[in-house]
Amino acid sequence: MTWEETIQYIRTKPEYKFLVEKAYFEEDLSLNVERFRESSEYHETLKEIKKYAPSAKKILDIGSGNGITCIALALDGYDVTTVEPDSSDTIGAGAIRKLKELYHLQNIKIYEAFAEEIKFPDGEFDIVYARQCMHHAYHLQKFVGEMSRVLRKDGLFFTVRDHVIYDEKDKQWFLENHPLQKYYGGENAFTSDEYKHAINKAGLDLQKEMKFFDSEINFFPETPESIVERKRIFDNTIKSKLYYKIFSAKKNSKINDMLTDSEKLIPGRMYSYVAIKR
């Protein structure tokens, strides 16, 4: 299946109802936008943008999908240029064009291209923002390098909700557990070190790496309260039933390390990165 066919398919299946709603895959495009704008993820995203780039006007939104991010940012007054390689009306540039017309937006430009192949001038943007996009890069260093090239000096590179893996075995576990990978086969992930190396090599100063539990940007639609409960269950149930009953702490110190870190029990946990152009 293509990505568009996958989304059209899961909309028909009751077992994917929660995913369709929380991942903003509803057929009603404006409903997706309004839900995203009301989310704690977006509110926290705006806080980070205003903290690191308070006077920014021009934003390049990479991999905008069905438009929730670029439309939200345009509605909040930013001049937005969006780059989306998928042309479809369901989950790509076609959907963004529909929303642009629906909201009568003049402050958004839409281009169809891969992030590694954008043709914008050097130093064109105040912010480059990418939601759930960098981990799809077919060439990570080229991806980040292009983002850095089009940023002005002291501009903000802000990539959010990227899947992080520890090694190839962990990556396979993530892919096996991803609910849509079996349909379209397009998921990917990199290690934290790979992301950070690419950011540094591209001439960007990493300000912070937000791990999964650090921000609602990463763990939304879960809440801080549900995250606390999740960690409590991990600590009390998994450690007691799995570790203490099956493994010996003295013989399996690596297992102990794994189980005391709740994040490692989340397939393809999401991280976000904030960096400034040197």
Which strand (E) or helix (H) includes residue 48? Answer: helix 40-52
Q: What is the mean pLDDT of residues 266-274?
A: 96
pTM: 0.90
Q: What is the mean pLDDT of residues 170-178?
A: 97
The pLDDT score that the predictor gives to residue 252 is: 47
Question: Domain with 25 in it: what CATH number?
Answer: 3.40.50.150
Q: Are residues 171 and 203 in the same domain?
A: yes
Q: Are residues 146 and 53 in the same domain?
A: yes
The pLDDT score that the predictor gives to residue 248 is: 43
Q: Are residues 49 and 178 in the same domain?
A: yes
The pLDDT mean for the chain works out to: 91
Q: Give the percent of the chain with pLDDT over 90.
A: 83
Q: Are residues 13 and 68 in the same domain?
A: yes
Q: Does the pLDDT value for residue 160 go beyond 60?
A: yes
Q: Are residues 34 and 22 in the same domain?
A: yes
Cα radius of gyration rounded to whole Å, the chain: 19
**What span, in angstroms and rounded, lies between the C-alpha atoms of 25 and 23?**
6
Q: How confident is the model at residue 239 (pLDDT cuts 50, 70, 90)?
A: low
Taking only the tens place, the pLDDT of each residue in 190-227 is 999 999 999 999 999 999 999 999 999 999 998 888 87
- Give the contacts of 232 (CB within 8 A, at least 6 positions apart): none
Taking only the tens place, the pLDDT of each residue in 11-54 is 999 999 999 999 999 999 999 999 999 999 999 999 999 999 99
Q: Are residues 160 and 198 in the same domain?
A: yes
* Residue-range definition of the domain harbouring residue 72: 3-221+266-277
The pLDDT score that the predictor gives to residue 18 is: 96
Domain count, the chain: 2
**What span, in angstroms and rounded, lies between the C-alpha atoms of 155 and 14?**
43
**What span, in angstroms and rounded, lies between the C-alpha atoms of 140 and 190?**
9
Q: Does the pLDDT value for residue 244 go beyond 60?
A: no
Structure tokens at 55: 């006077």
Q: What is the mean pLDDT of residues 105-111?
A: 98
**What span, in angstroms and rounded, lies between the C-alpha atoms of 236 and 12?**
38
CB 275 within 8 A of CB 204: yes
Q: What is the mean pLDDT of residues 251-256?
A: 44
> Which ranges of 136-238 would DSSP assign to H, the alpha helix?
140-149, 168-177, 181-184, 192-201, 216-219, 224-233
Q: Are residues 233 and 103 in the same domain?
A: no
**What span, in angstroms and rounded, lies between the C-alpha atoms of 96 and 42?**
18
Q: Are residues 145 and 245 in the same domain?
A: no
Q: Are residues 40 and 63 in the same domain?
A: yes
Strand-pairing partners, residue 61, are 82, 129
CB 42 within 8 A of CB 36: yes
Q: Does the pLDDT value for residue 237 go beyond 70?
A: no
